[in-house]
Chain A
Amino acid sequence: MTQFHEAQRAMRAIRRAAIQRGTIAVLDVGTSKVACLILRFDGPERDRMNDGVGPMAGQTSFRVVGAATTRSRGMRLGEIDAAAETERAIRTVVQAAQKMAGIRVDHVIACVSGGRPRSYGLAGSVLVPTDVVSEADVARVLAACDVPDIGDGRETLHAQPVNFALDQRSGLADPRGQIGKKLACDMHLLTVNGDTIRALLHCITRCDLELAGLASSAYVSGLAALVEDEQELGAACIDMGGGATGISVFMKKHMIFADAVRLGGDQVTTDISKGLHVPWATAERVKTFHGGVVATGVDDRELIEVGGGTGDWERDRRTVSRSEVIGIMRPRVEEILEEVRARLDAAGFDHLPTQQIVLTGGGSEIPGLDTLAPRILGQQVRIGRPLRVRGLPERASGAAFASAVGLCLFATHPQDEWWDFEIPADRYPARSLRRAVRWFRDNW
């Protein structure tokens, strides 16, 4: 655990240094597309001085100067399947974004959508030695959380304190400086497969880039697609990606649950490909241009040309009606949504005060989803698009870029995590030199 702490802490230092230098890139390596945005930080936030305008979660301090997308290679179910291919995709997209920005970037923040994320709720409590809670007490209570057995080969992606309680008072956002005896905290721990992270890290390192942060794609999609009220009152964000569908539940501006369904748009494409006997690329095209989930009478008359694929253009030509395509797509989309519903039920989403669900990601752009989704997920469903950030090109402002935009927000204003606090001295390995140095610094 301490070793991973150190890695996360090093990434935080790199992120700070990169923002100091003014340039950082965010990289969303997805199953269907790889997107890269280059952010330039224009110095201190000038708008912050205006009265009534808060820091706006750091959204005003940066500007997107480069954006590039390419089709993904070597990815399956949100995980890296062929590292060399993925590396090539990253190279393509980083080069294009650098060319557009005219800046060289060295640091990237990436997100992970696959890797079977698993979410844990941790609780811990500690007695406050002095009456006033200090930062060291917060660190101690975080360290006092009993970590479950997260499994072999799994790594912590997020460990965010979501709630502090002091004596009987609960729901404190920041207990520091408050007076009480017993400090308790709830922490949300998100773990993923270590191999997934390591494969991504390997690809990024092979592109001469340094990783300055790692986030769950479901989490960052939620940051981008949920409006502030939804984050505060409680909502679920469903990021319908190509290879995996991410679920994140927000409450009081903290992510309290995250999960992923290993189904996505790629399965829909595969179904079309199999059902219509067309190549995968053609199926993808049919899905994007003519896809839908609610059939109407006019769809029977709309015929889509799908080539035979034999090259005999004169004889071998086939057409399918749009309702056929919808008939193939709808069961799969329903299956995805039902799977999401099952995950949400398992997480106890029905007990939340609001049942708001926001669909985002490329899959949320299927026509007719807004009538299909409420039947499965409940009435409070909307299709969300990521919020606008400065300088984002129009082509990168669609729902498919929710996690890329969320990564921008994550880059500028990351939430405090476990590793942002000092590790209590008694957790250090014995005879640590740094412990001696700390002792000297504290006492002299």
Chain B
Amino acid sequence: MRQVTRRDPAPSRIAYRMQRLLLTPLFWRALLWGLPLALVLGGTGLWLSDADRRQALVEGATELRRQIEERPEFMVQIMAVEGASDPLAAEIREILHLRLPVSSFDLDLQEVRDLVAALDPVAGVRVAVRPGGVLQVDVEERVPAIVQRRSEGLVLLDATGHPVAPLAAREDRADLPLVAGTGASRAVPEALALYAAAEPIAPEMRGLVRVGERRWDVVLSGGRRILLPEAGALRALDQAIALHQAQDLLTRDVDVVDLRNPRRPTLRLGRHGTEQLLQARSDR
């Protein structure tokens, strides 16, 4: 009969201890995660301990980044300015002075936007890089609504009072109303409303003067003035126009129509008018 004994060798003491050690959860976890981690970290640290290698690594990374940034897909070839008049477009191109082509990574759209928006004639701007390498600058231009006379010259203002551009001569924009005086630009909406209301006396109108940064004077031809109050200027002007239409107030020799106190309108007559009045009184 054959000897059939199952081989059942006893483990050596070391093998037995090793198995028990490996079955210890903490040890096993340390071996499974800690050892590879330590090897990788140690190897990396050793490799990076050389300054030349570190520099080469940084350079390589920079180079790679540059290569990606300069791929044609990311390059901005041209700039398109839309919604701006030619001088404004030229000005925008000048202040941006982009050296095209440029990578869209190097392009700070926010900065471009801020630069363009800081220009006086620009009311709003949208900047975007369009597919195809186009830097699209959509400009909304300010519309001049009024001319302000300042000590340094004439300035065009838009409807909100924001300066648009300097003006060389009043005749260039004779169609726009004129304001003057300190702080006139801050009250442009009111001035425009006053101009609109003064439509019936438009031929007489020369302009509006801001007085003491609080109220308006309507300056008419011949140096005549209508002094408007601080509050309710529009109503006072309507009142003066109504007076004019009813009694031809402004065709008479009146230097100043003082409506600053709406309950006590005052007229200052011109020299001729005063004499006529005195004459009439003495005749009576």
Contact = CB atoms under 8 A, between A and B. Distances in A.
Q: Do A and B bind each other?
A: yes
Interface of A: 70-71, 73, 88-89, 91-92, 94-95, 98-99, 102-104, 207-208, 278-279, 281-282, 285, 305-307
Given A88-B10, A208-B17, 6 more contacts: A92-B8, A94-B16, A278-B1, A281-B3, A281-B5, A307-B1
B1 A95 contact: no
Contact of B20 (A208, A279, A282): A208
Contacts of A104: 20, 23-24
15 contacts: A91-B10, A91-B16, A92-B10, A94-B16, A95-B11, A95-B15, A98-B19, A104-B20, A104-B23, A208-B16, A208-B17, A281-B3, A281-B5, A282-B3, A305-B1
A262 B205 CA distance: 139
A281 B17 CA distance: 31
B23 A103 contact: yes
Interface string B2-18: 11110011110101110
A99 B22 CA distance: 10
A326 B2 CA distance: 21
Given A71-B8, A208-B17, A98 B1 contact: no
A278 B3 CA distance: 11
Interface residues on B, range: 10 to 19
Interface in B13-52: 13, 15-17, 19-20, 23-24
A281 B23 CA distance: 35
Nearest to B20: A104
Chain A CB within 10 Å — which of B3, B4, B11, B16 has the most?
A: B16
Contacts of A70: 8
Nearest to A85: B10
Given A91-B10, A98-B23, A104-B24, A306 B17 contact: no
A398 B278 CA distance: 147
B1 A282 contact: yes
Contacts of B11: 91-92, 95
A285 B23 contact: no
A285 B1 contact: yes
Contacts of B3: 279, 281-282
Contacts, number: 43
B1 A102 contact: no
A307 B2 contact: yes
A285 B1 CA distance: 10
A20 B5 CA distance: 40
Nearest to B28: A104
A306 B1 contact: yes
A92 B20 CA distance: 12
Contacts of A103: 23
A18 to B, nearest CB: 15
A84 to B, nearest CB: 10
B8 A95 contact: no
A104 B24 CA distance: 6
A306 to B, nearest CB: 5
B30 to A, nearest CB: 15
A91 B1 contact: no
A316 to B, nearest CB: 11
A127 to B, nearest CB: 53
Contacts of B17: 208
Contacts of A279: 3
A160 to B, nearest CB: 34
A98 B8 contact: no
Contacts of B4: 285
A94 B13 CA distance: 12
Contacts of B5: 281
Nearest to B17: A208
A282 B17 CA distance: 34
A331 to B, nearest CB: 24
A76 to B, nearest CB: 18
A344 B24 CA distance: 48
A278 B1 CA distance: 10
Contacts of B20: 98, 104, 208
Interface in B87-116: none
A88 B11 CA distance: 7
Nearest to B4: A285
A180 B9 CA distance: 62
A305 B3 CA distance: 12
B170 to A, nearest CB: 97
B219 to A, nearest CB: 98
Contacts of A207: 16
Given A92-B10, A307-B2, A102 B23 contact: yes
A293 to B, nearest CB: 22
B22 to A, nearest CB: 9
A33 to B, nearest CB: 11
A95 B16 contact: yes
Nearest to B22: A104
A285 B3 CA distance: 9
